[in-house]
Amino acid sequence: MNTKPFNSGLSENAVVITRVADRQWHALDDDLVVGRGHAAHRPDGRLFVSIDAWHDAVFDRLAEAMPAELPAPLYTVVDEADAELTAGWRRAGFAIRRREWEYVVPTDPRVTGLDAVLPPPGVTIVPAGEADESLLRAVDRAIRDEVEAAVGWESMPAEVIAGPEGDTVVDPSKYAVAAAPDGYLGLIRVVTVNRPRIGLVAVRAGEQRRGIARALLAEALGTLHRCGFAAAWTEVQESNKAASALFEGIGARPVGSNLELVR
């Protein structure tokens, strides 16, 4: 356990930064927790940090203590509208790396225009929960390798699904897939906690521009609509013009943005 006392003005006692677990820190003011810091690896291997503190002084000391005990590079994601939090991370030496737009996506096929969309000849859409797990993992791995070899998987929206080390298909029941006779060509993942979120839609490089992504969206959004959801949410990196065009073409609209910062 590592502690770093400093005078904060929050009380007569020194506030102490304490590492309470492998990747967790507390800021204590006279035994009262006045701030928390956390670090976690994302499925793509990057290390992301977060801090929850009421006072700038506590935030700054946590942001000073944590990087001193963690390997670089470190990443964090903030709501772009939260100027105060963004400023705190920038004081700690973090720089803006990229912007992700958050879209709200209608599910009604009469609004999206996907009611008459069919997959291309020779391709079948397999609904969520019915995919062969081994073939699903194979296409997930192939797509990730293709993206990594091109623009790099780090260009994809930051993933937040927790799972075993190296397991990028955490819950196979959340995926619908595009199937051909010799294997799967694409996939879409939708996770519903408080609201449905499209976490990933991707197609093998050699199969793109055939309408497979639109067919996958038609399946996923149609299912959500029948389940009573009027909208889903997703994130798209600002530089990914093709993905933005895909979603905006079905009536999705941006409602906010997140910044990914790196130190």
* Assigned domain for 263 exists: no
Helix, coil or strand: residue 197 = strand
If one compares 155 and 81, the residue with the highest pLDDT of the two is 81
Asked whether the predicted pLDDT for residue 150 surpasses 90, the reply is no
Return the DSSP state at 159: P
Q: What is the CATH number of the domain that holds 51?
A: 3.40.630.30
Percent of the chain scored above 70 by pLDDT?
88
Across all residues in the chain, what is the average pLDDT? 89
Mean pLDDT of 202-213: 95
Counting Cβ atoms within 10 Å, is residue 15 exposed (0-12), middle (13-18) or buried (19+)? buried
What is the pTM for the complete model shown? Answer: 0.78
Domain end point (choices 98, 127, 161): 98
φ, ψ for residue 13 (rounded to 5)? -95, 160
Return the DSSP state at 128: T
Domain, as residue range, for 244: 102-257
37/142 same-domain check? no
Predicted local confidence at residue 239, as pLDDT: 87
Helix axes 56-68, 83-91, angle to 10 degrees: 40
45/93 same-domain check? yes
Q: How far apart are the first and last CA of the chain?
A: 24
Please write the tens of the pLDDT for every residue from 8-51.
Answer: 455 545 788 999 999 999 999 888 999 999 999 886 788 999 99
Q: What is the total residue count of the chain?
A: 263
Contacts of 66 (CB under 8 A, 6+ apart): 25, 37, 39, 49, 51, 74
Domain end point (choices 65, 81, 98): 98
Please write the tens of the pLDDT for every residue from 234-244.
Answer: 999 898 898 99
Predicted local confidence at residue 258, as pLDDT: 94
How would you classify the pairing of strands 95-106 and 253-262?
A: antiparallel
Please write the tens of the pLDDT for every residue from 44-73.
Answer: 788 999 999 989 999 999 999 999 999 999
Among 5, 6, 3, 65, residue whose Cα is nearest residue 38:
65
Counting Cβ atoms within 10 Å, is residue 35 exposed (0-12), middle (13-18) or buried (19+)? buried
